Structure 1
Amino acid sequence: MFKTNRVSNAIHLKRKNPLLLFLGCALSLHTVSVFASQQEDINVYPPNWWVGMQRPEVELMIAGEDVADDKVSVAKGSVRITKSTALDSNNYLFVTLDTSAAKAQELVLTLTDDDGSKRDIRYSLKMRKDGSAERKGFGPEDAIYLITPDRFANGNLNNDNVDGYKDKADRSFKGGRHGGDIKGIAENLDYIKEMGFTQIWTMPMLENAMEKYSYHGYSTTDYYNIDPRFGSNQEFIAFSQKADEHGIGVIMDMVLNHIGSNHAWMEDMPSSDWINNHGKFVGTTHKRESLHDPHAIESDVKGFSDGWFVPTMPDLNQRNQHLANYLIQNAIWWVETANLSGIRVDTYSYPDKAFLSQWTNRIMDEYPKFNIVGEEWSVNPAITAYWQAGSQRHDNYDSALPSVMDFPLQAAVVEALNNDESWNSGFISVYETLASDFLYGDPNNLVIFPDNHDMSRIYTQLGHDKEKWNMAMTLLLTTRGIPQVFYGTEILMGNEGSDDHGIIRSDFPGGWPSDSAKNAFTGKGLSDDERWAQDRIKALLGLRQSHPELFKGELKHYAPVDGVYTYFRVASESTDSLAESPADSSAKKLMVVLNKEPVDLKLTKYAKMFGANASLRRVSDGEIFKASDTISLPAMSANVFIVQ
């Protein structure tokens, strides 16, 4: 099995070899120079750091054969070593540097063994980019495009298979690698921008050196390197820069809960408690309610947090402070290195609860305007709201998490559109879910979505009904929150007949050189319905760009009556962005009407919202209406009006 950065394979010169020790007596100078040249035998995490950080201390994990008993000193540079700690393994040493008085420089740290042999480590402290700490994260004016990198576009056919990695490209296999990569995404930034998306969230692209099913990226085997089948660190950094030039931010998907079973740690754990359940598979209960249950017993809490997802995903014990530091610093390293605009955290509630508070607080202390969204897959808003900063809680838990995925609203939308209207079904489910927003610290900062990479596509959930799809997408691209759209949703991609994730994450048409018949990037071969859907998404997202003040403002909605649900987006009085709007700068409200049955809608019902002298322009066709008009709307329609 191929392994990268493996401690067990790293050292070619064994310092404890008796022959080397014998030679060292007569050739000590030569021996020192040999060891000094063997920095490649030692891995240091994080691989570099920066001066001027909010917290000046950084803990280095030094991994190399038999380093645990080495003494560390500064051979070159102005930095202070405050702590050096060995754990259970002989091959890891944790060294804390205090950079508070340091300038950007190249350090040389010397490791000295008890036999007198030495090895030098060259370590860079860099200057931060201007404004790094004040970077602005994604927000309510944005729209996120979620991509499965392996299934979006293959820009480099030469990295489909890489020597040493067993999971080879097989586009015919639903669970295989299909060849999509960073270059493929970068080459299609124009399409993403033209659609109206301002943020890209990709499923993880860090190394997954697993034998099979590695394409999804959630079995990390190296936290500091992009999987070579997607590209390189340099390509990812260049992609982020190019995206920024297109006005698009990059959100990185991070996995704190577990690793892939082929990670080096599974061969040589830094400490015996590095992996939960003594490194042996015990499945999680998935009973997230145990974290909030006032009647819960400790074993239920432990069964949820300490259990593994599957045998190939060992569960990390973040109660180990050195592991906690590793994960915290890794997140900060990627934010600085790749100029990220946000982080999405996989399975947010599963890691140790106290660690989550520490991890999130550290990042938000470093980047106060940043945004992080956590995945808490619960349709109970009381459970999801618990994790968002500013929410009221039953305990004194310190959550700094700015955003959470709004699974309750996603479920409510599907339920509303698939059920008949009555006093307790239909649009009332959406109304009641949004009426629970008092639970959240900031409901407008929730990430809302019609579907994602782990569930059936919305078109399939709605029975491949184009009108229902239109109502769902209209609602989710105009209501409160930050919308996320899964690639292909804009062209009615579905998964009829299968709920297999490999089918849900099918290839985007046009992303491969052999896709000659159909290309969604250019429109070639798309059906009339697919073109219509693409145009509809583009029109709805265009509103966020022309009227950002409306989407940063309030949501006001009327209780649904007879299958009609109406709501308004209202520009906040405090916003100063009205003058910045390139068009319709007088617009202060957006009105959305969703109706299942034909209706003659009297606009006078909403006079208090827009005034007697207002005019309404329908987005779909530009038709103008007066506030006193009655509008005839056909069944299963979704209408958006700019109120002026």
Structure 2
Amino acid sequence: MKRITLALTLMLFAAFQLASAKTKVSIDRVEPAFWWAGMEHPELQLLIHGKEISNLTPSLSYEGVQLDQTIKVENANYLFLILKISDDVKAGSFPIEFKQKGKVVFTYNYELKERRENSAGRQGFSNKDVMYLITPDRFANGVPENDTVDGLKEAADRSNMSGRHGGDIQGIINNLDYIQDLGFTALWVNPLLENDMEVYSYHGYSTTDYYKIDERFGSNEDYVRLSAEAKKRGIKLIMDQIENHCGLDHWWTKDLPTADWYNYQDLEKKPYSTHQRVSLADPYGTETDRKGHADGWFVDSMPDLNQKNELLANYLIQNSIWWVEFGDLGGIRQDTYSYPDANFMAEWSRRIMLEYPNFNIVGEEWSENPAIVSRWQKGKVNANGYESYLPSLMDFPVQAALKRSLNKEIAPYSNTFNEVYETLAADFLYADPYNLVIFPDNHDTPRFFNQVNENYDLFKMGLMYIYTTRGIPQIFYGTEILMGNVDHPEDHAYIREDMPGGWEGDKANVFKGEGLSKEQEDALYFVKTLTTFRRDTPALHDGKLKQYAPANEIFVMFRFDESTKVMTIFNKNVEDKDVELAHYEESLQGAKSAKNVLTGETYDLSKGTLKVPAMTSLMLVIE
């Protein structure tokens, strides 16, 4: 019997010896391949796949483990085993015997591993962190030899902007010092699981194996090594997961377990999602509209998973927990959070947080309406009775409002900051606004430098806002050097362009600080200074926030705790302005001086006014 090792965790091919010397039977997959003793949830579901496997009867004998149910489905190539696991079960291996007509024909060793030290108490990302987002295929190529892998459909072609370029896990590991030096403490990496699709596979959102890292990125062991190396540098690893859909070329598509594993399994007659997310909250909405949103397919290459199927639901929940434990994760980012079955998502997040009470999960609800986003956060009391267990959400409302406030043209009597001011004022809708992830851009939006029409002053103003306001800042790789394609600002392939220096022979190398323009060097210093300051300043984590209504294109915010007070002033006027400090005395409370976070310059506040240069934002520590 071959013992399951880390090297075999996700591409499991276990050989089993038959009692008959002339015949051999193989099982293609056992998922999850192993589990852990000491988990909170007392049940474990095993998916077993093999030719006509349902004709056999499984049994096991191990203290603390009981085979509670053997579930057969219409496809005879599947068995689902439900194991009851006691609280005091000991880690170890035990045989699962498969019998035919009462005779053992083969056995399979299953392992319950020891959990990591203090695994249940692991601390997820929080508002003490600043998050760095990477599209791995486009960040850095650490192992050129794995760019194209025999047996996987799409080969590398860096000349094709929509193709695979060769970035991988080793490339990220090689540049963790760069990420640490910039001050980032959390790392969100776009999906790394196998995505064996014919084309456009680099982005990772069409999973074809939920238990295996794509070999073009590396191996399962490489992923664990990335997590460990990041942890050494004080960086938490956040896994990008997708419960809504998989890739059409997932291994189970040609041999589906049940007739309802996918929504609309007739591939010729499937409807597409209406994307009417508001229908889920509409008090006057119809079940037809809710179903049209949640059950339709995204695109032809992404089958919509039916989480109302309890076997599939358990499979997905366990897979997420498996990766948290196996990968020693510091968080999950959940794609398209409002598209799967809503009750399933409540149970999915509840089960994860049951195992890891201090963990964090951020969901993507791409709506600019805070009333729609807020209904998904844990603690929110919803009129329809829906109870969520999701701790965090991406703050799309603030992102959109900030972009419009920055780009809005100044007119007589205008206050262009009003929109972002009023959007933040809607924080009363959230159960915990300090646990929202705030961002200027990400892998799906135009680059922030493009959003502000390549205006560097507005770029700095926007980032200053992100680093001042409540929540958890997230910065997309390359934002620190003004990445953005003027000719293709909304094309995802160009939004996710290659990081300069990630490939041998690149003319510029951001990791070494070579070949950058003066403006890029300044932006890099700007981001590094703000990130490290925020990382080291508790007042910007949990401190209270005060914002003053914008007037005459001046907008002022304060963050403060008992020891530190930070004042950020935004001047969008095209001329210098003398800001009257008496208006902010409620927060200044007689302070006489302040220090510029970026320059170290000291300002005398006793004069009663402070000159703020045109189109500038100042972050000041009040002394």
Equivalent in 422, 436, 445 of residue 455 of structure 1: 445
Runs of 4+ in 1 over 3 A off after TM superposition: 9-13, 75-78, 114-117, 421-425
Quote the offset at 1:197 in angstroms.
Answer: 0.7
Quote the offset at 1:612 in angstroms.
Answer: 1.1
1:592 equivalent in alignment to 2:560: no
1:643 equivalent in alignment to 2:622: yes
SS of corresponding position for 2:142: coil
Quote the offset at 1:11 in angstroms.
Answer: 10
SS of corresponding position for 1:635: coil
TM-score between both structures, scaled by the size of structure 2 = 0.94
| 2:516 corresponds to | 526
SS of corresponding position for 1:526: coil
Root mean square deviation, CA, Å: 1.9
Equivalent in 68, 75, 82 of residue 82 of structure 1: 68
Quote the offset at 1:426 in angstroms.
Answer: 1.3
Quote the offset at 1:622 in angstroms.
Answer: 1.3
| 2:3 corresponds to | none
| 1:18 corresponds to | none
Equivalent in 604, 615, 620 of residue 626 of structure 1: 604
1:616 equivalent in alignment to 2:594: yes
Trace 1:371-382 onto structure 2 (pairs within 5 A).
371-382=360-371
TM-score between both structures, scaled by the size of structure 1 = 0.91
Q: Distance in 1 between matches of 2:456 and 2:414?
A: 25
Trace 1:110-259 onto structure 2 (pairs within 5 A).
110-114=97-101, 116=103, 118-259=105-246
- Structure 1 residue identity aligned to 2:77: N
Trace 1:313-332 onto structure 2 (pairs within 5 A).
313-332=302-321
SS of corresponding position for 1:361: helix
CA contact (8 A) 2:97 2:104 kept: no
Equivalent in 493, 497, 507 of residue 506 of structure 1: 497
Quote the offset at 1:602 in angstroms.
Answer: 2.3
Q: Distance in 2 between matches of 1:541 and 1:159?
A: 33
CA contact (8 A) 1:372 1:402 kept: yes
Quote the offset at 1:210 in angstroms.
Answer: 0.4
Give deviations 1:421-480, integer Å, cap 9, x for gaps. Answer: 466761000100000000001111100100010111010011011001000011112211
CA contact (8 A) 2:482 2:520 kept: yes
Percent identity of paired positions between Structure 1 and Structure 2:
47
Runs of 5+ consecutive residues of structure 2 not aligned to the other structure = 1-7
Q: Distance in 2 between matches of 1:91 and 1:77?
A: 29
| 2:419 corresponds to | 429
CA contact (8 A) 2:129 2:186 kept: yes
Moved more, 282-291 or 70-79: 70-79
| 1:484 corresponds to | 474
Q: Distance in 1 between matches of 2:471 and 2:14?
A: 51
Change (3 A) 1:497 1:425: farther
- Structure 2 residue identity aligned to 1:384: V
Moved more, 160-169 or 389-398: 389-398
- Structure 1 residue identity aligned to 2:222: E
Q: Distance in 1 between matches of 2:419 and 2:77?
A: 56
Equivalent in 581, 595, 598 of residue 603 of structure 1: 581
SS of corresponding position for 1:559: strand
SS of corresponding position for 1:484: strand
1:59 equivalent in alignment to 2:45: yes
| 1:20 corresponds to | none
Quote the offset at 1:57 in angstroms.
Answer: 1.2
CA contact (8 A) 1:202 1:252 kept: yes
CA contact (8 A) 1:563 1:596 kept: yes
CA contact (8 A) 1:138 1:370 kept: yes
Runs of 5+ consecutive residues of structure 1 not aligned to the other structure = 16-23, 574-586
Q: Distance in 1 between matches of 2:254 and 2:410?
A: 58
Q: Distance in 2 between matches of 1:398 and 1:116?
A: 49
Give deviations 1:547-606, integer Å, cap 9, x for gaps. Answer: 1243222211000001011001112x5xxxxxxxxxxxxx42111001111210122322
Moved more, 621-630 or 481-490: 621-630
CA contact (8 A) 1:46 1:330 kept: yes
Quote the offset at 1:12 in angstroms.
Answer: 10
Quote the offset at 1:76 in angstroms.
Answer: 5.7
Quote the offset at 1:192 in angstroms.
Answer: 0.2
Quote the offset at 1:507 in angstroms.
Answer: 0.1
- Structure 2 residue identity aligned to 1:592: T
Equivalent in 352, 359, 377 of residue 348 of structure 2: 359
Quote the offset at 1:420 in angstroms.
Answer: 2.4
Quote the offset at 1:635 in angstroms.
Answer: 1.2
Give deviations 1:32-69, integer Å, cap 9, x for gaps. Answer: 7x44xx4xx33111111111111121111111111123
Q: Distance in 1 between matches of 2:74 and 2:150?
A: 33
